[in-house]
Amino acid sequence: MDMRWGLVPSWFNKDDPSKMQFNTSNCRSDTMLKKSSYKGPLLKGKRCVVLADGFYEWQQHSGGKQPCFIYFPQSKDAVAEGKDGDEEWRGWRLLTMAGIFDCWEPPAGGETLYTYTIITVDASKDVSFIHHRMPAILDGDEAIRKWLDFAEVPTQEAVKLIQPTENVVFHPVSTFVNSVRNNTPECVAPIELGAQKEVKATPPSNAMLSWLKSSQEGSPQKKENDLPRWKSQFIHSPSPKKTSAGLLQQWLGKEAEPAAKKRKV
């Protein structure tokens, strides 16, 4: 079953859901129990988890907008020592975002359409300088279990899980990601902010994209030895959150300084 991003409420009575005059890709946590589009399915237990490698946000500064890739920190559990001493990549820890889904049936009859929306919250302190909102991220198996278990966890209890999380890291990426047509390792490759020199996609980056692609296509016969090698410069950074924040804030400060001086003149 495919599920489309952008919730179409079951009560929508037009023949074409693309004619909806409101955007339902994201749902604010503070209004999800007030708006009928979300309240109905939420009270019926239509809670879901949306998986992603990470998400992008754009920081506004004097020179334009700087895109950043935000994701879960990747622990050493994701790798295992191989016989030759190399580290073997076991998989990227996907973001687990809280969502709401609904089922819409065309008034004239036809196939049921399943759609979802991603719940958003105020951004956590560490990323709020990039953007003031962020997805509601369920951090850990227990939080995911409770969100999905409508039979045991009622709505009023489940919504308490919808909180900002500090457990994310980020790095600046190229404006190459600004085009939705681009879907290559360059979209997640870190860049050097000072000189705006892009870090070229590394073999591990290509390996990650290849692995993700094969996972989406389904490869049940994929052998353990076929898993890609992973040696990422940002996966094993000792303090990626502080380093990323410091560099980005420092760079943005330098970019804004000449503009400020010019205004004084």
Q: What is the dihedral of CA 53, 181, 123, 232, to 10 degrees?
A: 40
Q: Could you give the CA distance from residue 91 to residue 93 in angstroms, rounded to a whole number?
A: 6
Of 96-105, 132-141, 254-263, the one with minimum mean pLDDT is: 254-263
pLDDT, position 257: 40
Q: pTM above 0.75?
A: no
pLDDT band at 89 (very low <50, low <70, confident <90, very high): low
Query: If you classify domain 1-53+94-165 with CATH, what class do you get?
Result: alpha beta
Residues 27 and 118: beta-carbon distance below 8 Å: yes
Tokens encoding 158:
């489940």
Tens of pLDDT, residue by residue over 40-85, are: 999 999 999 999 999 999 998 887 899 999 999 987 655 454 445 5
pLDDT, position 164: 96
pLDDT, position 206: 54
pLDDT band at 2 (very low <50, low <70, confident <90, very high): confident
CA distances (Å), origin 140, targets 18, 164, 167 = 35, 14, 11
Tens of pLDDT, residue by residue over 140-177, are: 999 999 999 999 999 999 999 999 999 999 999 999 99
Position 243 pLDDT exceeds 50: no
φ/ψ (deg, to 5) at 115:
-135, 165
Of 44-48, 125-129, 190-194, 203-207, the one with minimum mean pLDDT is: 203-207
CATH 3.90.1680.10 in the chain is located at 1-53+94-165
More confident residue, 150 or 2: 150
pLDDT, position 189: 93
- Mean pLDDT to the nearest integer, 118-128: 96
Residues 170 and 124: beta-carbon distance below 8 Å: no
pLDDT, position 39: 97
Could you tell me which residues are beta bridge partners of residue 35? none
Task: Sort 195 into a burial class: Cβ within 10 Å, 0-12 / 13-18 / 19+.
Answer: exposed
DSSP the chain: ---EES---TT--SS-GGG-SS--SEEETTTTTTSHHHHHHHHTT-EEEEEES-EEEEEEETTEEEEEEEE----GGGEEE-TTS-EEE-----EEEEEEEEEE--TT----EEEEEEEEEEPPTTTTTT-SEEE-B--SHHHHHHHH-TTTS-HHHHGGG----S--EEEEB-GGGGSTT--SGGGT-BEETTTTEEPPPPHHHHHHHHHHHHHHH--TT--GGGSPB---TTTT-SSHHHHHHHHHHHHHHHHHHHHHHHHH-
